[in-house]
Homo-oligomer: A and B are copies of this chain.
Amino acid sequence: MPEFVPGPFSVPRRTLMGPGPLNIHPRVLRAMSTPITGYLDTAYFKVLDEVVEMLRHVYQTTARTMAVSGSGSAGMEAGLTSLLEPGQKVIICSYGYFCERMVSMAERIGAEVIQVRSEWGRVMDRALLRTALERNKDVRLVTAIQAETSTGVLQPVAELSKLAHDHGALFMVDCVTSFAGAEIKFDGWDIDYAYSAPQKCLAGPPGVSLVALSERGMQAVRGRKRPPSSWCFDLGLIADYWGPEHKHHHTSPIPLIFGVREALAMALEEGVPQRIERHARVAEAFRAGVTALGLRLPIPPDSRLNQLTVIGVPAGIDDQKVRQQLLDHHGIEIGRGLGQFQGKVWRVGLMGESSQPANVLALLSALERVLPEFGHEVASGAGVTAASRVFAEKPVQVP
């Protein structure tokens, strides 16, 4: 045996409470270890069809739904590369780190990018988008992110979509962090393309992006002058595989789709509105605890995400050292600030599997131990007591 054959496989247990991936539900882990079928097997098509139907339910749509192989960013790239041709104009509503990733992707495919910048950590200024649409004729596509994971703000997607369509543009939205943790009305808000990922509020595995494409969006893809620069991310080809014809494209990541199928089934068993309510309740308790620890919540209450809480790092405290100690001593991962927010905030994800009282109490307890070591004094037990009070009022059921 060569000397570098590694020993038995083992990784430390982590309580994942960052921006994602979160922990995967045990039932989903189990589904991923199911012996696979072929990816052109009618038995597998039945699984795909179930995923299609369940995605429609969560997206509240009758449109085409499917999974793109790759991370949430693959869903982002599939949308941009399929809906835009080189030289076409795209307006990117920009109020966070992942909006800027969209800019980078759209530039790479040769689109004419109009970045409309709005303040990070606040709701998008709709007047800025209106002005940009009035100034630029022939805008092909407007993009936005419903729940910017870098800032923790819920954005007014319905209004942005309406503005886009009033000016004849298509509308694409990132639902990576919102999917199954906040309401999405794909049809009701007249969205053309939405993409998400299972490793957030769905308690599923990372590795695919879950997308919906309107009829108008599909016509745009089918009516292109030239095919998209990417074969793998060509939504027309992917739709042909996921559609009733199940036409051969690339090999499906079967174990991940098994996991997604199970994660979606669990979301529907719980009920999507009930799951959204759970996320709200758990976040409320966590915010009560965080406030009791004398920490600041910089996002205004009316636009805060429930699935991702942004906490201000107290002055003089080393952001990185606190996170490292939470990980090393308590096995808890929380997120750092990105871009403009680097070193200034922590990001705590209470999504899917992590949206439960035990996680809230564990993190608050850990913070009560760790923060005083870095000079931020807290009343012992204050955070846990405040959170427990919320849970006692109305117990949270966790599947």
Binding site for B on A (CB under 8 A): 1-2, 4-6, 9, 11-14, 16, 18, 20-21, 23-24, 29-39, 41, 43-44, 47, 50, 53-54, 57, 69-74, 77, 81, 101, 104-105, 108-110, 197, 199, 205-207, 226-233, 250-256, 258-259, 261-262, 265, 268-269, 271, 327, 333
Q: Which residues of B contact A57 (CB under 8 A)?
A: 2, 4
**What is the distance, in angstroms, from A248's C-beta to the closest C-beta of chain B?**
9
Q: Name the one of B6, B32, B41, B261 contacting A327, with C-beta atoms under 8 angstroms.
A: B41
**What is the distance, in angstroms, from A165's C-beta to the closest C-beta of chain B?**
27
In the complex, the answer to whether A1 meets B271 with C-beta atoms within 8 Å is yes
Assuming the contacts A11-B34, A70-B70, asked whether A197 and B251 have C-beta atoms less than 8 A apart, the reply is yes
In the complex, the answer to whether B37 meets A14 with C-beta atoms within 8 Å is yes
Q: Which residues of B contact A269 (CB under 8 A)?
A: 1, 5
In the complex, the answer to whether A207 meets B253 with C-beta atoms within 8 Å is yes
Q: Name the one of B228, B233, B265 contacting A6, with C-beta atoms under 8 angstroms.
A: B265
Q: Name the one of B9, B72, B327 contacting A251, with C-beta atoms under 8 angstroms.
A: B72
Assuming the contacts A69-B71, A70-B232, A255-B207, asked whether A35 and B9 have C-beta atoms less than 8 A apart, the reply is no
In the complex, the answer to whether B50 meets A36 with C-beta atoms within 8 Å is no
Main secondary structure of the interface of A (DSSP, over half): loop
Q: Which residues of B contact A35 (CB under 8 A)?
A: 11, 13-14, 23-24, 29
**What is the distance, in angstroms, from A397's C-beta to the closest C-beta of chain B?**
14
Query: What are some 10 contacts across the A-B interface (CB < 8 A)?
Result: A11-B36, A21-B38, A23-B36, A37-B333, A70-B250, A71-B252, A77-B231, A108-B228, A205-B255, A206-B255
Q: Name the one of B207, B229, B251, B258 contacting A199, with C-beta atoms under 8 angstroms.
A: B251
Task: Give the docked Cα–Cα distance between A252 and B18 (Å).
Answer: 15
**What is the distance, in angstroms, from A174's C-beta to the closest C-beta of chain B?**
13
- Ranked nearest first, the 5 interchain pairs of A and B with the lowest CB-CB distance are A207-B253, A71-B250, A33-B33, A29-B33, A73-B250
In the complex, the answer to whether B39 meets A21 with C-beta atoms within 8 Å is yes
12 additional A-B residue pairs with CB within 8 Å, beyond A4-B54, A9-B34, A11-B258: A1-B269, A12-B43, A21-B39, A23-B35, A29-B32, A33-B33, A39-B206, A70-B232, A71-B252, A108-B229, A229-B229, A232-B233
Task: Give the docked Cα–Cα distance between A21 and B253 (Å).
Answer: 10
Assuming the contacts A6-B265, A199-B251, asked whether A37 and B11 have C-beta atoms less than 8 A apart, the reply is yes
In the complex, the answer to whether B231 meets A230 with C-beta atoms within 8 Å is no
Q: Which residues of B contact A227 (CB under 8 A)?
A: 108
Task: Give the docked Cα–Cα distance between A35 and B27 (Å).
Answer: 11
- Closest residue of chain B to A229 (Cβ to Cβ) is B229
- Closest residue of chain B to A30 (Cβ to Cβ) is B33
**What is the distance, in angstroms, from A275's C-beta to the closest C-beta of chain B?**
13
Task: Give the docked Cα–Cα distance between A54 and B4 (Å).
Answer: 8
Task: Give the docked Cα–Cα distance between A4 and B108 (Å).
Answer: 41
**What is the distance, in angstroms, from A11's C-beta to the closest C-beta of chain B?**
5
Task: Give the docked Cα–Cα distance between A13 and B35 (Å).
Answer: 7
Task: Give the docked Cα–Cα distance between A1 and B269 (Å).
Answer: 6
Task: Give the docked Cα–Cα distance between A286 and B71 (Å).
Answer: 40
Task: Give the docked Cα–Cα distance between A105 and B81 (Å).
Answer: 14
Assuming the contacts A231-B105, A250-B73, asked whether A38 and B9 have C-beta atoms less than 8 A apart, the reply is no
**What is the distance, in angstroms, from A161's C-beta to the closest C-beta of chain B?**
24
In the complex, the answer to whether B207 meets A256 with C-beta atoms within 8 Å is yes
Q: Which residues of B contact A261 (CB under 8 A)?
A: 6, 9
